[in-house]
Amino acid sequence: MKERVSVIFIERGEIDVLDGAFVVVDVTGVRTHIPVGGVACVMLEPGTRVSHRAAALAARVGTLLVWVGEAGVRLYSSGQPGGARADRLLYQARLALDESLRLKVVRKMYAVRFGEEPPARRSVEQLRGIEGARVRRTYQLLAQQYGVKWSGRDYDAEDWDSADLPNRCLSAATACLYGVTEAAVLAAGYAPAVGFIHTGKPLSFVYDMADIYKFETVVPIAFKVAASNPAGNPERAVRLGCRDIFRQTKLLDRIIPDIEDILGAGEVPRPEAPADAVGPALPNPESLGDAGHRS
């Protein structure tokens, strides 16, 4: 996963597998090859059509396909490339269902995100409230830093144009981050829905993990673009900025090790996988060389 390109967007084309390659064919018949096995997440914008063979190939190589709207609002996702690992899923569920273990994981998430230990003797709900206050304050500070008029996080997915420019930029930026984070969660064999701070949503665990990186990556990009007030398509400028910041911060190198570190705060040994368990979604190939040499 850490070797992959984070995210690409495709619009207005037919996606198929031709001559064994994942390609986008535009209205004039021009083919554009996409190295799908080297991409963590492919965002499909309006105007795209995907063949069965293309979806199957993306699943085989562990690339997440995400259907998004004009503004990057999630419409549908292709599911779990490679499938969840039963041993990882049971481990994650045990931590989430036991309130004392869940609190340990939430405290670790807080510490990783804010760089300090959370207040002692606080429940998950109390920590969620403290986190929310800090998040709102951080939005205000970043808006002041970039000279953006900020009246709070407010948007309507059903009426995109009603949102102001900063909120539209933030939604486009977080859509990129959520897609990449979901791809990493799935590649590691965990369930996106089993969250610790966020609960009851299909991507609760994705939101938990993405929030750790949000303010060091995509939020500054969104405010920077909003401050420049670009003509035409500000969402595109946001996506390009997100792609660059993901590379600069080596985000894909960090997500899976951080997941293991955070869940390890529960101090519960992870169960061993059964002998007949399905392998990882992105297996490491056997190498003929020693460590440090490519196969």
DSSP string covering 139-195, please?
A: HHHHHHHHT-----S---TTSGGGS-HHHHHHHHHHHHHHHHHHHHHHHTT--TT--
pLDDT, residue 163, reads 76
Q: What is the CA radius of gyration of the chain?
A: 20
pLDDT, residue 75, reads 58
pLDDT, residue 102, reads 97
Helices (H), the chain: 52-60, 86-97, 99-114, 124-146, 165-187, 204-214, 218-228, 234-248, 251-263
Q: Are 51 and 17 in contact (CB under 8 A)?
A: yes
Model confidence at 80: pLDDT above 90 = no
pLDDT, residue 250, reads 92
- Rounded CA-CA distance 239/222 in Å is 9
Helix 251-263 and helix 204-214, axial crossing angle in degrees, nearest 10:
120
Model confidence at 110: pLDDT above 50 = yes
Mean pLDDT of 66-89: 69
pLDDT, residue 70, reads 67
pLDDT, residue 60, reads 84
Q: Are 42 and 66 in contact (CB under 8 A)?
A: yes
Phi, psi dihedral angles at 146 (to 5 degrees): -95, 0
Model confidence at 205: pLDDT above 90 = yes
| pLDDT, tens digit (0-9, with 9 covering 90-100), for 239-293 | 999 999 999 999 989 999 999 999 999 999 887 777 776 666 556 556 555 544 4
- Among the listed ranges 56-65, 136-145, 202-211, 245-254, which one has the minimum average pLDDT value? 56-65
**Type of residue at 168:** R
- The structure tokens listed for 158 are 């059903």
Mean pLDDT of 134-140: 94
